[in-house]
Amino acid sequence: MISSKIISNGILRAVLTLIFIGLGLLFFYKIQSIIIYLIVSLILTLIGNPILDFFKRRLKFNHLFATIAVLLIFVLIIFGFIMLFIPLISSQGQNLSLLNTGEIEKNITQLLNQISAFLENHKIDSAAVLKESNITSKLNFNFVTDFLNMLLGTISSFGMGLASVLFITFFFLKDRKNFLIGAKKLIPNSHEEQILNSLEKTNHLLSRYFIGLLLQLFIVFILYLIVLFIFGLPNALIIAFLCAVLNIIPYIGPLIASILAAVLTMLSNLGTDFQTEILPTTLYVLIGFWIVQIIDNNVSQPIIFSKSVSSHPLEIFLVILTAGFLFGILGMIIAVPLYTIIKVIGKEFFPENKVIKLLTKDI
């Protein structure tokens, strides 16, 4: 028979284990900002490694100067974005911080009334439905003020986060060999070769993936910008940048970008005739955005997903879709890098498995 002492010791151990797990989760929750800094720094390191090797191989820089040069490139890129977008934002700083939500509601109401008038002229019953629903009274526009104030608060704390990320990235790049030597000491000898091979292949594939992703976003940004400039939208730079960043979210991001562009196009043309000005311009902008997305879906994305991470487009689609159902938008964003890591580990540790062989034949 099991004595009461053994039972009580088992219960005590279980309680202590749960307490330690809870404390561990609480600890990680408290330092979530540091974890985010580390993840961003790791991504920058993966992007910077090929540039670092280029400086060392082709330009004959020593390791320290090559690391500094890579960091300067990151700083110049970030500074360029700041110089590009912050003046546009700061010039409207008062409007952002003292935003009149009543004015926004008035503009939205005016736009909806114009849409209703257009539909009535074409004898479409949905105009009456729109009026009867009194949609504007049901919308709470205060969220706009809260969102913009939160955005300004985020920008104000951006400096500290940026300095931390650059500091960590510098040492990740500079001491990567030391980190590798330290990791070797912690790795069991029986699995050392597989783990080191996994790290090397993962670093190579993810470096290509993130560089390709940045190139894709830049191409989409330029194409969006051209569309917006053609139709003379104000603040085209900011709108194109936001819509390009939304492309990070697979499949859903471009749809949100199109809706955002359409709404901003209509609001920017308030005061003009809906049928002859607002509606045609909005349709032309949407068509332009859809053409950009066709180019992106059939040129940029296949190159990034198929070539950089050695996966079939259908395979990537199913992975992203599954991750989206399980973990939402965040899952869709991290699906490709995480799937790549799993494939590399599978190839190193289970090379004879038939499924692994099929999925990793190009790695």
> What is the arithmetic mean of pLDDT over 183-205?
75
Task: Report yes or no: 75 and 162 within 8 Å, Cβ to Cβ.
Answer: no
192-196, 301-305, 323-327: range with highest mean pLDDT: 323-327
Q: What is the mean pLDDT of the chain?
A: 76
Q: Please report the pLDDT score of residue 92 as a whole number.
A: 43
Report the predicted TM-score, pTM, of the whole model to 2 decimal places.
0.66
Residue 143 pLDDT > 70? no
**Tens of pLDDT, residues 72-82:** 998 888 777 66
**3-state class (DSSP) for residue 40:** helix
Joined together, the tokens standing for residue 362 give 């190009």
Report which DSSP code applies to 3: -
Of residues 274 and 145, which shows the higher confidence score? 274
Distances (CA, A) of 304 to 2, 174, 314, 316: 60, 28, 13, 11
Is pLDDT of 345 > 80?
A: yes
pLDDT: is 294 or 182 the higher one? Answer: 294
Arithmetic mean of pLDDT, 155-184: 79
* pLDDT for the residue 305: 72
pLDDT of residue 176: 80
pLDDT at 72: 92
pLDDT at position 129, please? 54
Euclidean distance between CA atoms 357 and 346, whole angstroms: 9
Among 1-10, 275-284, 288-297, which is the least confidently predicted range? 1-10
pLDDT in tens, 117-140: 766 666 665 555 555 555 545 555
- Torsion sign over Cα 297, 303, 308, 310: positive
pLDDT given for residue 180 in this prediction: 72
